[in-house]
Amino acid sequence: MAYAGHWLERRLGAATAATALSAVALSMAALSILPGDAAAQTPVRGGKIVIARSADITVWDPKYTNDTLTLQAQGQIYGNLLQSSPDGKTLQPSLAESYEVSADGRVYTFKLRPTAKFCDGSPVTAEDVKFTFDRAMEKDSRVLWQFPNKPSVEALDPATVRITLDKANVAFARYLTLWGTHVLSKSYTEKVGVQEMGQKPLGSGAFCMDRFVKGQVTILKRNPGYWDTGKPYLDEVELRFVQDENAAVLQLRSGQVDVAMSVPFSQAESLKRAPGVVPAMVTLDATAAIVPNLKTVPAVADVKVRKAMLMALDRQAMVDALLFGNGEPAQSPFYGPGVLFHTRDFGIKHDLEAAKALMAESAFPKGFTAKMLIPSGDEMAGQAAVIVKDQLAKIGITIDVQPTESGTWFSLWSGGNFELVYKLGSNLVGDPAQNMPFDFWSVEEGGRNAAFSSYRNEEIVKISKAAEGETDPAKRAAMYREVQRIAMSEVPQIYLFHPSVVFATRDHVKGFAVYPTRMVRLSDVWRTK
């Protein structure tokens, strides 16, 4: 494998891994920072930074996007009606300077900023918003689930948009911060066509896409028509594709890049002592999991097998070894303690003997063999795969780990052409409603076929749909508690852990942060020299 697996195996060889790592975990905790740590300093305008990213950008068309690292890039060139606060907990104005909600919670009326412009200088209008939403709700869209309750969009005048839902959805405003609602230019898209727009987008956000060489580099330049006066501070950003995270760290140390988006935990401690380098850590609202394909692998269609797989995995040891203790085993289908209504009450603990007993009771007592796709260049995925392979072998399951280029990995996964797949899913709005369609609903219901796994539970679908419109917080909490109880009794995915991630910058980069949503906001970043 291309992932320092030998290093991980040595770490796991010690029975007292958690104890041995405790000092490291405490040391790592000192890396933690809050977003906006540079807020007390005066920003400097101008200059360029280079960011090393471990995955390429798959497409610039939000309608067909579903991978986080592509979203990180798209979020720099596109604007939304609303945006999340850095911690993902509250909403802030963006292309819309204000909005009102009707008493019944069904009608949202937005007033657009008169200063908001696309990168060609044309104004962002209500017709652009209507075009964007209508297009994103077409049947072939990969973001249809981001438009719950059948929104009907009207352009009342050039600066006023009205969105009417067929029934109330308490999380709807938060959906408007997601990538499916990135506002596109109607005239530009119709002029150049969908194919060219997907390669040469016209942005409505802080930056404009200047050059895109797939598999190599993307150059972003300041949008002179950005609505937030004085931002972005930088003239230019280079997004450099450096697939191997260790190579990215070497480039950061040497000054070839200014930011390494993902740093292996094995290197984080040494980076604290590297001249001119500032590492930092953030706990994500995210879950690493293994998605089984119930259609291509008959064994995983048996709930006893899926439960046995989860029980066989020592996920605390995984957190200790991979994350130096900076994370926690996943005990819920919700994407971490930072998400509303998350509970650990229905978690399944590591119990190898119980796992063996379940396998013996299943329809596959002798085990089975399956291929597991992981995104190549992702060290955490590669190291997690080493542990999964080793520990599932103890209950008779043979895993063939297959590192795959990130674009191909997602294409195979989303096309249903997989047996097992490693995913790191994020919650971008702090509300479980965001993840319900993707993880549990069918395509016909606006979902993604339960993360493309073909899993189906009618009760989860029914409850999660009702919870979207429930305005009583206590009742809504009870609904989502029941969703978690059912899901953990059936284990539709093999939930691994909620991770922290380490990133690092050169010391002249200010205002840069990876947020718990795993997003970044480059409009807030500047450099001092």
Under-70 pLDDT residues of the chain: 1-40, 87-88
**One domain for residues 155 and 251:** no
**One domain for residues 444 and 361:** yes
Q: How far apart are CA 345 and CA 509, in angstroms?
A: 42
**One domain for residues 278 and 364:** no
Query: Which residue range(s) make up the domain with 252?
Result: 33-53+201-282+501-527
Out of 166, 188, 210, pick the residue that ends a domain: 188
- For residue 48, what is the domain's CATH number? 3.40.190.10
**One domain for residues 269 and 297:** no
Secondary structure of 209-235 in the HEC alphabet?
EEEEECCCEEEEEECCCCCCCCCCCCC
Give the other-Cβ count within 10 Å of 400's Cβ.
12
Q: Tokens 């995913």 belong to which residue? A: 423
Instruction: Report yes or no on 66 lying in a domain.
Output: no
Instruction: Report yes or no on 241 lying in a domain.
Output: yes
Number of independent structural domains in the chain: 3
**One domain for residues 483 and 395:** yes
- Which residues have CB under 8 Å from 437's CB, separation 6+? 145, 146, 148, 445, 446, 447, 448
Global model pTM greater than 0.85? no
pLDDT in the model for residue 88 = 67
Q: How far apart are CA 133 and CA 8, in angstroms?
A: 46
The two tokens of residue 327 are: 């994370």
Query: Alpha helices of 115-235 — where are they, by DSSP H?
Result: 126-136, 172-175, 186-192, 194-197
**One domain for residues 245 and 303:** no
C-alpha separations of 442 from 63, 423, 448, 453 in Å: 18, 19, 6, 10
pLDDT in the model for residue 488 = 98
Half-sphere exposure of 405 (CA within 13 A, CB side): 9
Instruction: Report yes or no on 211 lying in a domain.
Output: yes
Q: How far apart are CA 348 and CA 332, in angstroms?
A: 9
Residue of 308, 315, 421 whose CA lies nearest to 366: 308
Secondary structure (3-state) at 188: helix
**One domain for residues 516 and 419:** no
pLDDT in the model for residue 40 = 54
Name the residue type at position 61: D
pLDDT in the model for residue 429 = 84
**One domain for residues 439 and 402:** yes
Instruction: Report yes or no on 17 lying in a domain.
Output: no
**One domain for residues 143 and 177:** yes
- For residue 432, what is the domain's CATH number? 3.10.105.10
